[in-house]
Structure 1
């Protein structure tokens, strides 16, 4: 199993470096399970990158449902699937959370616009927030349930920021995760936002989406001081969220044109500071 664990660790390092770094701050006996969760998340988030047609993509998501719901300990031959099943069993993780996550990811396969802010927050809740809560259960099953609401806020802040970082890619694909009600308030439409040249309405919509991410981040930071140290690694990627949002608001480049980037040194420094001092105080 050690070889499988190394394959999974390398997959997370390549596909989701921020979560990979955060997992290194977890106790050694919890890391394999955390990396299994993060590898699974990377796998299902990247289905559209690998499978460009919706129906084959849905088939792939169904394969994951079948693997997770299957009884017994027979290996699948897929490194991530095998370590994920082991983590689910060892930590008594609710399979319904994985089913909901997979159902939410069906949206990624199509080009339908995100209907509303409520729909976006629901999507974030079933994906990033659920992932944080599952990681918290791995780290401290006793304490985790008391911080489910905080995980919801954290997941919304992190996921909305992540969608903003991928905004230029999504526009090239014809996808629109910025909610239609936010676009309407900004004076544009999903069609114009995706296919247009990014005029004033598009910039207003981006600013409103950044503000939404900050709203959830602020709510998370208010409650983060109560997080026990045992749960901190599950929430640690939030250490980078404010820095990404700050970078976007400086407008070079606009999220419409390209992704904001943080240097490796800055990411390491922010993670270290928050890992040692907690997540309730923003560091710059």
Structure 2
């Protein structure tokens, strides 16, 4: 079990280092649950990078649905069947004893996490597998809420099931801010492979289109569209920061990734660090400091 727990932890450290750092501020008896949630998120968010084709990617997502839906008594059988399908779809051949799947099932059971949240998250991730443009701001906010927002709320429920429900709306705002920041950081990668997460209505207002945005330099409207996306992320971040001072200490680790969002967004402003030219980066020292400050002091009243 110790080896499996280490595998889950290392999955997060390798794929999502910022979230890995936030778990270190959680109580020791809660870290395993958070690592399992974040490892699951790393697994499903990275499917396109590992598989590259949509249909096998959907098979992988279905495998995770089966893992989550499996009753305790049938978990081993479900994992075995899913592992065979996953391997046949060009996956990594995972089968019985998949450490992340086992840890996730335990977390869902022990903390009584709602399976519907995971189902919605997996459904939202289908969008990642295709090159369809994001239709509108509303669609983008829905996507962010069902992915990053849901992950924050699930982490909060694992940390403190009594307090977590009071902050569900705040988790939604936080998820939008964090996910949009992440999409901006990944913008060069998405454009390279023909994906456009900037909503079509925002692009149209900037005088561009999804097709134009992903080709060449993005066209004359690209900078305005990126600026609008940054402004939207900041809007959600400001709404989160308005309510963040009331967060209880017990829930802070779930929201700690937001400690980095403002710094990332601030660095994106200006042509030198435009997301069109490359991902904004923060030094390890600054990331550690920002996380430490919010973990120990929380968010001050605005």
TM-score range normalised by the length of the shorter chain? over 0.9
Distance 2:299 2:157 in 1: 18
Distance 1:113 1:198 in 2: 14
Distance 1:6 1:279 in 2: 31
Q: What's the C-alpha RMSD, in Å, of the aligned pairs?
A: 1.1
**Alpha-carbon contact 1:223-1:280 (below 8 Å) kept:** no
Shift of 1:196: 3.1
After TM superposition, the score normalised by the length of structure 1 is 0.97
After TM superposition, the score normalised by the length of structure 2 is 0.92
Q: Judging changes above 3 Å, is the alpha-carbon distance between structure 1 residues 280 and 113 closer, same or farther for their aligned structure 2 residues? A: farther
Distance 1:132 1:14 in 2: 20
1:165 to 163, 185, 189: 185
Q: Judging changes above 3 Å, is the alpha-carbon distance between structure 1 residues 161 and 281 closer, same or farther for their aligned structure 2 residues? A: farther
**Alpha-carbon contact 1:37-1:84 (below 8 Å) kept:** yes
Shift of 1:197: 1.2
- Other-structure match for 1:25: 25
More deviation, 212-221/271-280 = 271-280
**Alpha-carbon contact 1:236-1:279 (below 8 Å) kept:** no
Distance 1:258 1:251 in 2: 11
Shift of 1:182: 0.1
Q: How many residues align?
A: 282
Shift of 1:13: 0.4
Shift of 1:280: 3.9
Shift of 1:72: 1.6
Gapped regions of structure 1 (runs ≥ 5): none
Q: Does 1:242 align with 2:258?
A: no
**Alpha-carbon contact 1:104-1:126 (below 8 Å) kept:** yes
- Could you say what secondary structure the match of 1:219 adopts? helix
- Could you say what secondary structure the match of 1:265 adopts? helix
1:182-226: CA deviation from partner (whole Å, max 9, x where unpaired): 000000000000113134300000000000000000000000000
- Other-structure match for 2:205: 185
Shift of 1:279: 2.5
Which aligned pairs between 1:2-151 and structure 2 lie closer than 5 A?
2-73=2-73, 74-75=75-76, 76-151=96-171
Gapped regions of structure 2 (runs ≥ 5): 77-95
